[in-house]
Amino acid sequence: MEILWALMAAAMLSVVLLPVLRRRRSMIEQVPPGHPDAADPADYGFVREEELDIRMPGADQDLLDVLDVVQHTQEYKAAAQLLAGTETQGELRWQRVQAFAGAAALELQRRPGGVGEVPGGQWLRVWRAEQPKDGGGAAVHAEFLVQQAWRTSTPGTDDFRIIMEEAKVACGEAALLAPGDPIPYIVELSVARGLAYPREEFEQLWLKILDRAPNHMGAHLAALHYWCEKWHGSRELAYQFAEAAAARAPQGSLLAAMPLFAVFEHLPEVNLVRSFYQSEVVTRAIHGALHAVHAARHNDPMLAHVRHLLVFFLVRAERWAEAMNQLVHVDGHVGALPWTLSSDPAAEFAVYRALAVAGYEANGGSPATLPH
């Protein structure tokens, strides 16, 4: 409830920050050499904007290698093999399912096909046709349909509903093929959001996930999106869900960062000023996320997601050194919130990175003082 009141108070201030950030980016590019705002991210070994990878939040070399093979050869077998060897209940499998589905969706968007032309993403259709009992392929297909609905149609339209209904059927088929796999149900969380499941139906779905993977961070983030939709109740329900997840998070779990994601989910609904990001409510959420990052396993697949969101909040709070410490770990990959909400994720990330570098150096920092 406290977070809700803070957001409402911020809305009354009616000052939009993002245009200010973009104006300051222009200033950074125009200031003379030697000025603190002339700081160059390349001095820190950061990747050039045009080389940032927008496909995933962090490094997964096995996935990158397989994606390259699949997209160059249009053969699905390497993808099927990678998923078959990935732990069923883990976060990594969910991210890989999303990546394969997203790759197929992007291919189809770029090559929709026509008379005598093979549409993009054909390898996924072949995968389902040749291995109809492969649970991995079924899960990727279900996620593909969900992404297609959100990418190509408008929620509430007949086209959107038809694709989502097809995705719901695909989720059921995937669940039957792999009874212990939480991913078909996690995919269905997006269907629940799109089709506005009644609360009772959603909670039945959520219980199936808790039975299989109670601490799955990706599932919690997908469920948070459902609670954030206005027709499912007040924003307070979303914050209650996030805070409850954080409170029951086991040691080392990134679920402790959920309140920060809940705050972020409602930022587009209000106009914000800098003081909001330095408020007690947001500061507490930031500290919870920082603690979660510090306690998490270094190879936790969700770690990069939390670090990216921390960069966003730490820059807006002008906590430059802490933002730089997060950038060191995630630079190079930008396939995560908040950047993926932009039409140009790499450019959006680069804005914040440039601001972090400029603020860091304006307060006495340098490449020599930044821990790696």
Tens of pLDDT, residue by residue over 318-357, are 999 999 999 999 999 999 999 998 989 999 999 999 999 9
Predicted TM-score (pTM) of the model is 0.86
Buried b (16+ CB within 10 A) or exposed e, 215-242: bbbbbbbbbbbbbbeeebeebeebbbbb
- Distance of alpha carbon 220 from alpha carbon 147, whole angstroms: 18
pLDDT score recorded for residue 5: 40
Instruction: Supply the angle between the helices 345-362 and 18-30 in degrees, to the nearest 10.
Output: 70
Of the candidates 195, 184, 119, the one whose C-alpha atom is nearest the C-alpha of residue 157 is 195
- What mean pLDDT comes out for the span 144-153? 93
Confidence of residue 267 (pLDDT cuts 50, 70, 90): confident
pLDDT score recorded for residue 26: 46
56 pLDDT exceeds 90? no
What residues have CB less than 8 Å from 278, skipping those under 6 apart? 317, 318
- What mean pLDDT comes out for the span 93-115? 88
Domains, in order of start, for the chain:
1-60+234-372 (no CATH), 61-209 (1.25.40)
11 pLDDT exceeds 90? no
pLDDT score recorded for residue 13: 33
- Distance of alpha carbon 100 from alpha carbon 70, whole angstroms: 9
- Distance of alpha carbon 304 from alpha carbon 18, whole angstroms: 23
Higher pLDDT, 278 or 355: 355
What residues have CB less than 8 Å from 264, skipping those under 6 apart? 309, 312, 313, 337, 338
Q: Catalogue the E-assigned strands of 261-305.
A: none
pLDDT score recorded for residue 116: 65
Positive or negative, the Cα torsion across 192, 164, 338, 291? Answer: positive
